[in-house]
Amino acid sequence: MAASRVAIITGASSGIGKATALLFATKQFRLTLTGRNESALKDLASECIKKGIAAENVTYAVTDLSADTAPKKIVSHTLEKFGQIDTLINSAGILTTGSILDSNIDVYDRVMDCNVRSLVRLTREALPHIIKTKGTVVNVSSINGPCPFPNVTYYCMSKSAVDQFTKCLALEMAPHGVRVNAVCPGVTVTELHRRAGQDDETYKTFLERSKTTHALGRPGEASEVAKAIYFLASEDSSFTTGDLLRVDGGRGIMHPR
């Protein structure tokens, strides 16, 4: 029997990355989980084992993605453990909020470093190995990539960059048999907004408001985004590349009238 596929998942310690790891654990993937929070990664590895993955088929690499050493550390750890890379899921990201007038260029640097530069660096490091397996890359963008919103300008810019990276890379990688796609979630219940500074009350109000800003009348769940990521990472989407798949409850097609 052919060895099971190997996925690297960034941002695996929380939210969408974590839900993706749990889903992939049920789909016979071997997994490298990455993030900064070691105890969360350790707990997640145990949860993956409970989902049916063998203990030797899940590992984790603790690193800040913006560190110079991060791409090599994650890729060589995966190769040492599993000998191949079939798919890279770039889920790690941060949200920053505030008007342009109030958000100095350090904020811009921080969000672009995490959401774009680190993603590009890791993807470049992993690609030669993904080419060998004719695998896939799935980037976690946002509906803020195609759609503009005020007071999250740097974040929107970072996700537009991820979208264009996805499409250009899809064209470059197609001759190698590698497919590159992205998901564009709407508001999804994770830690993202609280980490961006929302307190419990503000977050509750924000989720309540999401019932009107999303056509389907609610925010999304991380597990719903994970299913779209699995589709794009797997052979189920064998004729899809360069796609920005919206998992946004219709948010991106809503317009005031």
Ligand X SMILES: NC(=O)c1ccc[n+]([C@@H]2O[C@H](COP(=O)([O-])OP(=O)(O)OC[C@H]3O[C@@H](n4cnc5c(N)ncnc54)[C@H](OP(=O)(O)O)[C@@H]3O)[C@@H](O)[C@H]2O)c1
Residue with Cβ nearer ligand X (84 or 250)? 250
Residue with Cβ nearer ligand X (114 or 132)? 114
254: nearest Cα among 210, 206, 214: 214
The binder of ligand X chosen from 124, 134, 195, 209 (CB under 6 A): 195
Please give the single-letter amino acid code of residue 224.
E
Per-residue DSSP letters for 99-147?
-TTT--HHHHHHHHIIIIIHHHHHHHHHHHHHHHHT-EEEEE--TTTTS
**22 lies in the binding site for ligand X (CB under 6 A):** no
Burial code (b: 16+ CB inside 10 Å, e: under 16) for 141-163 equals bbbbbbbeeeebbbbbbbbbbbb
Residue with Cβ nearer ligand X (120 or 131)? 120
Residue with Cβ nearer ligand X (170 or 192)? 192
Bridge partners of 59? 32
Task: State the Cα–Cα distance between residues 99 and 251, nearest whole angstrom.
Answer: 22
* Shortest Cβ 33–ligand X spacing (Å): 9
Task: State the Cα–Cα distance between residues 208 and 218, nearest whole angstrom.
Answer: 8
Is 155 one of the annotated active-site residues of the chain? Answer: yes
* Shortest Cβ 134–ligand X spacing (Å): 26
The binder of ligand X chosen from 16, 33, 53, 152 (CB under 6 A): 16
The binder of ligand X chosen from 5, 6, 7, 14 (CB under 6 A): 14
The number of residues in the chain equals 257
Residue with Cβ nearer ligand X (56 or 64)? 64
Task: State the Cα–Cα distance between residues 149 and 251, nearest whole angstrom.
Answer: 12
- Write out the binding residues for ligand X, residues 66-105 only, by CB under 6 A: 66, 91-94
* Shortest Cβ 56–ligand X spacing (Å): 23
Give the binding range for ligand X (CB under 6 A) out of 32-40, 45-53, 75-83, 172-180: 32-40
**147 lies in the binding site for ligand X (CB under 6 A):** no
φ/ψ region of 160 (left if φ > 0, alpha if ψ in -120 to 50, else beta) reads: alpha
Binding residues for ligand X, how many (CB under 6 A)?
27
CB 197 within 8 A of CB 97: yes
87: nearest Cα among 229, 217, 246, 239: 229
**Among 60, 154, 155, 230, the one annotated catalytic:** 155
**137 lies in the binding site for ligand X (CB under 6 A):** no
Give the binding range for ligand X (CB under 6 A) out of 49-57, 71-79, 80-88, 191-199: 191-199
Residue with Cβ nearer ligand X (13 or 101)? 13
Positions that interact with ligand X (CB under 6 A): 11, 13-17, 35-37, 40, 64-66, 91-94, 114, 140, 142, 185, 187-188, 190-192, 195
Catalytic residues, which ones?
Answer: 155
